[in-house]
Amino acid sequence: MDFVSEKIIDAVIDNLDNLSDDQYEKQMEQFSAAQPVLVAYLFNEDNFHLLTEDEKGYLRYLALIAWVANQKVNGPVEPVSEEVIGQAEEANYAILEASTAKRFRERLDGFFEHTPQEDLLAFAEEAVLEDEDDPEALVTREGRELIFVALKTVIDVLTQ
């Protein structure tokens, strides 16, 4: 897999932010058609019941960005299976749980040690920590870990 740069990610964000609601919905439908199991994972209430509705929407938006950016660089990816998603998610939780750091940002350091997609991972980190000290932030303290691990899982299965 080729490297997905910050420049590509930023261009995808700019493009998505300029879409009408209908155009955005079409993008999500294309994502769902290309990766039905992955999108089902993102909509699975059992996985994400602890997130607010806004956080769930944000996670799906972030996953769409990762998918579109990866498609631009690497072209279409074969649909991923539930098993592959489960293995990636389990591995990501193991990395998080192995960290002894107290601060969440420092707990993410282990993810950067072996990633070939550092810019996508930095995008995921920034997305959950952007307004870290703002009590009105979109991503709650409780939602950070879930959203980060889910997005890291999406990145892993799309770029393996």
| 26, 58, 124, 137 from 18: Cα distances, Å | 13, 16, 21, 23
Q: Is residue 78 part of a domain?
A: yes
Q: Is residue 1 part of a domain?
A: no
Copy the structure tokens of residue 103: 């601060």
Q: pTM of the full predicted structure?
A: 0.96
Q: Is residue 142 part of a domain?
A: yes
pLDDT at 68: 98
Instruction: State the residue range of the domain holding 116.
Output: 6-159
Q: For 62-112, what is each residue's pLDDT tens digit?
A: 999 999 999 999 999 999 999 999 999 999 999 999 999 999 999 999 999
pLDDT at 134: 80
Q: CA–CA separation, 138 vs 19, rounded Å?
A: 21
How many domains would you assign to the chain? 1
Q: Is residue 30 part of a domain?
A: yes
Q: CA–CA separation, 1 vs 159, rounded Å?
A: 6
pLDDT at 137: 86
Q: Is residue 95 part of a domain?
A: yes
Q: CA–CA separation, 34 vs 47, rounded Å?
A: 21
Q: Is residue 115 part of a domain?
A: yes
Q: For 98-157, what is each residue's pLDDT tens digit?
A: 999 999 999 999 999 889 999 999 999 999 998 777 878 899 988 999 999 999 999 999
